[in-house]
Amino acid sequence: MAKRLLRIFGPLILAAILVFAVLASPVTFGFKHISTTRERQAAVSLSPNVLRGKHIKEAALSDGYVPFFGSSEWSRIDPMHPSVLAQKYHRDYRPFLLGARGTQSLTQFFVMQNIQGQLRNKKAVFFVSPQWFVKGGTRKDAFGFYYSQLQTAEWLTHYRHDAIDQYAAKRLLQMPAAKSDHFIYAALQRVAAGKSLTKDQRFYLQTRKNMLTQEDQFFSGINLPSQNLSRVNRQAKKLPTHYSYSALDRLGGQLGKQATGNNPFQISDKFYNHGLKQEIKTGNLKDFQKNLSYLQSPEYSDFQLCLDQFARLHTDVLFIIPPINQRWQKYTGLSETMLKQFDQKIHYQLQSQGFNNIVDLSDKGNVPYFMTDTIHPGWRGWLAIDKRVDPFLTKKQAQPRYHTSDKFYEKQWQQLEPSQLSQYENNK
């Protein structure tokens, strides 16, 4: 019987041991190399798998790519999109677009966790959307969609006992995604309580991290979407051979004019027809944002996580604050005063901590063909951004001096009315 049992279960046991050995071992199996084509594809793919993973990002960022953190704006690929301009005019950097619809500061903080080596003493671009700063902050389902156990496990193997990581743990515990692994959940509870991890937890996390790292190496390159790369290539063909800001600005205006016109908002016809038209007809959108505010939000503290992470790694970051299409803003009743106050509050958070590279475009909402739709830059908007991004990335910058403060994790800051900013500063 023993012999027969061995014949039946032998292969099963052997297979289980082999799979576990391969996954749990910290050795890489010749998957280290990633071709340049694959890097080019991944950099513009906006694929959630790439965002959640490590391997491809790590390889590309060590290879001349610069992380562009943000969200849905990256998918608005027209000839003036940063990826297109960088490729067409052979810049010595290439953007690696990180983020898609629904990614906000908290997701980006965890994205940074397993590319720390590629951020340390390097440069980055960070696109701050005012729309993130709504009352509830990041949506739980969106966060869950981009949640990566690999990034969490990696963070937990090197987290620090400070207010920053404690806040991150607490915030993560509020998300249903944290429950996807019971051991990680228990570890997070200890971090949130300011305790050290147990020996078993550390062992589990190390093993889990190894397994997820191997999985990422084996599988994250499979089925990488390539349609965005073809879009970039197609858009690049529309650009003149030599770069000239004024010529491109004119071209941007022309392209914008061609692409818009069937609506009073100067929104691209394609975007407008795709859903907005029907909604406008119902009249429900008129003044629907009248009471919307970006002034009180947990997002301010989530955003602070990103700032602290940059400060820890001495990353030199250029922040972009986009405008909102003014015709749209007027139609939906979104308060202009509120937008100005948002700008003040975010400026305070950035500048008081030494983050001084800010491209503030918030007053450009009325520039024709600056926005491609309601809230996303296009044509001339992208070009204006490029005008600042290019020199920032290609010229030597002074070493930034950050002095971050934990006060931005307090509820008081999240809820602070910008009109009380000066009072707040005096009291602190």
Partner 1 sequence: MLTFEPYGNPTYFALLGVALLPLMIGLLYGKRSRLYETLVSIFFLVLTFGGSKWTQGVALIIYILYEVVLTWGYAVYRRNHNSGPLFYLMVILAIAPLTIVKVTPAVENGQASLIGFLGVSYLTFRAVQTMMETRDGTLKNYNIMTFLQFMLFFPTISSGPIDRYRRFEADYRSVPDRDKYLGMLQKGIRYLFVGFMYKFILAYYFGTILMPKLQLMAMHSRGGFLDISWPLIGYMYCYSADLFFDFAGYSLFAVGTSYIMGIATPMNFNQPWRSPNIKDFWNRWHITLSFWFRDFIYMRLVFWFMKHRVFKKPTTTANVTYIINMLIMGFWHGVTWYYITYGLFHGVALVINDTWLRYKKKHRQSVPHNKFTQIFAIFLTANLVCFSFLIFSGILDKIWFLK
Q: Which residues contact partner 1 by CB under 8 A?
A: 1, 4-5, 7-9, 12, 223
Quick one: 8 or 27, whose CB is closer to partner 1? Answer: 8
**How buried is residue 294: exposed, middle or buried, by Cβ count under 10 Å (0-12/13-18/19+)?**
buried
**Maximum CA extent, the chain:** 85
Nearest residue to 296 (alpha-carbon basis) of 144, 410, 192 = 410
Least distance to partner 1, CB of residue 223, Å = 6
**How buried is residue 255: exposed, middle or buried, by Cβ count under 10 Å (0-12/13-18/19+)?**
buried
Element holding 304 (H helix, E strand): helix 299-313
Least distance to partner 1, CB of residue 184, Å = 14
Quick one: 50 or 389, whose CB is closer to partner 1? Answer: 50
Least distance to partner 1, CB of residue 195, Å = 25
Quick one: 219 or 245, whose CB is closer to partner 1? Answer: 219
Q: Can you list the alpha helix ranges (DSSP code H) found in 157-198?
A: 163-173, 182-192
CB 212 within 8 A of CB 153: yes
Residues 237 and 24: their CA atoms lie apart, in Å, by 46
CB 55 within 8 A of CB 220: yes
Label each residue of 206-272 as H, E or C: HHHHHHHHHHHHHHCCCCCCCHHHHHHHHHHCCCCCCCCHHHHHHHHHHHHHHHECCCCCCCEHHHH
CB 126 within 8 A of CB 104: no
Least distance to partner 1, CB of residue 204, Å = 15
Residues 48 and 272: their CA atoms lie apart, in Å, by 26
Quick one: 49 or 104, whose CB is closer to partner 1? Answer: 49
Least distance to partner 1, CB of residue 314, Å = 41
Least distance to partner 1, CB of residue 176, Å = 11
Quick one: 153 or 358, whose CB is closer to partner 1? Answer: 153
Residues 143 and 106: their CA atoms lie apart, in Å, by 8
CB 45 within 8 A of CB 220: no
Nearest residue to 326 (alpha-carbon basis) of 369, 269, 387, 274 = 369
Quick one: 17 or 193, whose CB is closer to partner 1? Answer: 17
Quick one: 12 or 27, whose CB is closer to partner 1? Answer: 12
Least distance to partner 1, CB of residue 27, Å = 22
Least distance to partner 1, CB of residue 278, Å = 10
For the sheet containing 94-98, what is the strand order? Answer: 94-98, 65-69, 123-127, 316-321, 358-360
Place of tokens 């009352």: 135
Quick one: 211 or 306, whose CB is closer to partner 1? Answer: 211
Quick one: 5 or 398, whose CB is closer to partner 1? Answer: 5
Quick one: 163 or 224, whose CB is closer to partner 1? Answer: 224
Nearest residue to 160 (alpha-carbon basis) of 189, 196, 193 = 196
